[in-house]
């Protein structure tokens, strides 16, 4: 008699349990700021200077004293002699009363000046000697077009915090405070393999010679790419034969030098699925049935090794199930290994331009994409084996268990850009 089925485990509870098992990896690396894109900061970046370092002009134009332009009884236009020319990277002299300074974007504002007139509000007049005159056709408010010293960054400020996953904008920010090197978390070392005698690698057998029941191993390609996007060093163990001894050998070898072992397929309870007994022979394993669709079977365990243990995660074999289970469970786990604190994807509210009349007992992730009207269209086939739905879509609708959707309803949309980077 088969034992009773365990209740399905909620996705949020599963993720919380996984993250509770994560300790950020020891060790850091120092890399150049040029090479730090996508890496995770291991220490705070504190500014030793203020940005901008001094008041500077945000326009090409003329630096003036407001008192010279807006004095009572002075009618526009007025004309002032140009006393100096200040370009970015140079420093001017104090601005004498009754004069203007020709100034360019980014140049320091001279002492005494308290406003910038953009050149469109002025007219340069040649006089044949010196820098000429400028005719001023507008009255500037005090502080106009002046970027104040420190308005972007103050000295001593924490500009970037440890645990930040660096983007191009943040690399520029680090460079703006003079950091040419950054201390980052080391890359997680991940061993990847697939199980299943039905799997064939593209390029090894042409389509017309595929044996009955054989399929190309698509999961290996997208899982490896997703791991690499997360900054992992991936060792690809290929396809492991559907034998317990072969699975144990692969797990033992992978656990010795990797932080995480990731498999695809072999996590159900079929007689030919050897992952569970193989992992249990070397360490511990929890086999969960998750209340998500597509998805459901998922395994987590640990295999002891010298100095600690390697994490193990087993994904379902169906391509879309594997794809989404990775995005929703493995991705946050891998980011937390590197010290990232906020690992949750950010959903947005969007309009469903489709109907989903049949509710499911599991939380569903429906493949959709934006249309020209700003709504979401649904891919016609939501089967867990139809990887075309993920390639066609630009995200998923996170639909709660027991929830139907009518056209025009507001739904939770999670973009693939949130899940795949």
Q: Where are the domains of the chain?
A: 11-27+187-337, 28-51+160-185, 56-147, 348-419
Q: How many CA atoms lie within 13 A of 260 on its CB side?
A: 31
56-147: CATH topology is: Molybdopterin biosynthesis moeA protein; domain 3 (2.170.190)
Contact 314, 296 (CB under 8 A): no
What pLDDT digit, counting tens, does each position of 388-401 carry? 999 999 999 999 99
Ranges 37-46, 215-224, 276-285, 287-296: which has the least confidence: 215-224
d(C-alpha 170, C-alpha 340), whole Å: 15
Q: According to the 3-state scheme, what is the secondary structure of 190-227?
A: EEEEEECCCEECCCCCCHHHCCCCCEECCHHHHHHHHH
Q: Which helix (H) or strand (E) holds 136?
A: strand 133-136
Question: Residue 3 — pLDDT band, cuts 50, 70, 90?
Answer: low
3-state secondary structure of 185: strand
d(C-alpha 122, C-alpha 62), whole Å: 8
In CATH terms, 11-27+187-337 corresponds, of 3.40.980.10, 3.30.2270.10, 3.40.1080.10, 2.30.33.40, to 3.40.980.10
Contacts of 13 (CB under 8 A, 6+ apart): none
* Average pLDDT rounded to a whole number, residues 335-348: 95
Exposed e or buried b per residue across 23-54, where buried means at least 16 C-beta atoms within 10 angstroms of its C-beta: ebbeebeeeebeebebbbbbeebebeebbbee
DSSP secondary-structure letter at 166?
A: P
For the structural domain made of 28-51+160-185, what CATH number should be given?
Answer: 3.90.105.10
Q: Which residues pair with 364 in a beta bridge?
A: 293, 399
* Average pLDDT rounded to a whole number, residues 199-213: 84
* Average pLDDT rounded to a whole number, residues 262-277: 72
């Amino acid at each position: 008699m088969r034992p009773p089925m365990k209740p399905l485990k909620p996705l949020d509870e599963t993720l919380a349990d996984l993250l509770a098992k994560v300790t950020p990896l020891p060790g850091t690396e120092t890399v150049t700021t040029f090479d730090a894109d996508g890496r995770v900061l291991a220490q705070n970046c504190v500014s030793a200077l203020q940005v901008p370092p001094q008041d500077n002009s945000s326009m090409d134009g003329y630096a003036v004293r407001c008192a010279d332009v807006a004095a009572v009884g002075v009618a526009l236009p007025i004309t002032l002699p140009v006393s100096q020319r200040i370009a970015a990277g140079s420093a001017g002299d104090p601005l004498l009363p009754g004069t203007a300074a020709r100034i360019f974007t980014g140049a320091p504002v001279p002492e005494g000046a308290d406003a910038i007139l953009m050149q469109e509000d002025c007219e340069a007049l040649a006089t044949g000697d010196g820098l000429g005159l400028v005719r001023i056709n507008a009255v500037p408010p005090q502080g106009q077009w002046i970027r104040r010293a420190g308005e972007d960054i103050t000295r001593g400020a924490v500009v970037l915090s440890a645990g930040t996953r660096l983007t191009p904008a943040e690399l520029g920010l680090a460079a703006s405070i003079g950091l040419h090197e950054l201390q980052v978390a080391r890359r997680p070392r991940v061993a990847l393999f697939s199980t299943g005698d039905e799997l064939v690698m593209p390029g090894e057998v042409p389509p017309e010679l595929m044996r009955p029941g054989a399929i190309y191993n698509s999961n290996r390609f997208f899982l490896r790419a997703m791991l690499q996007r997360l900054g992992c060093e991936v060792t690809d163990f290929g396809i492991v034969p559907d034998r317990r001894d072969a699975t144990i050998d692969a797990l033992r070898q992978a656990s010795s030098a990797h932080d995480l072992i990731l498999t695809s397929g072999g996590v159900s309870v079929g007689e030919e699925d050897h992952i569970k007994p193989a992992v249990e022979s070397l360490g511990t394993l929890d086999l969960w049935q998750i209340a998500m669709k597509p998805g459901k079977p998922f395994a987590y365990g640990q295999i002891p090794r010298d100095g600690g243990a390697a994490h193990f995660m087993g994904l379902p074999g169906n391509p879309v199930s594997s794809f989404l289970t990775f995005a929703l469970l493995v991705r946050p786990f891998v980011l937390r290994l590197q010290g990232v604190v906020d690992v949750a994807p950010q959903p947005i509210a969007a309009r469903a331009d489709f109907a989903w009349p049949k509710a499911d007992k599991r939380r569903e992730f429906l493949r959709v994409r934006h249309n020209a009207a700003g709504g979401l269209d649904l891919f016609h086939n939501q089967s867990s084996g139809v990887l075309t739905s993920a390639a066609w879509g630009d995200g998923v609708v996170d639909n709660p268990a027991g929830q139907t959707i009518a056209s025009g309803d507001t739904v939770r949309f999670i973009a693939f850009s949130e899940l795949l980077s």
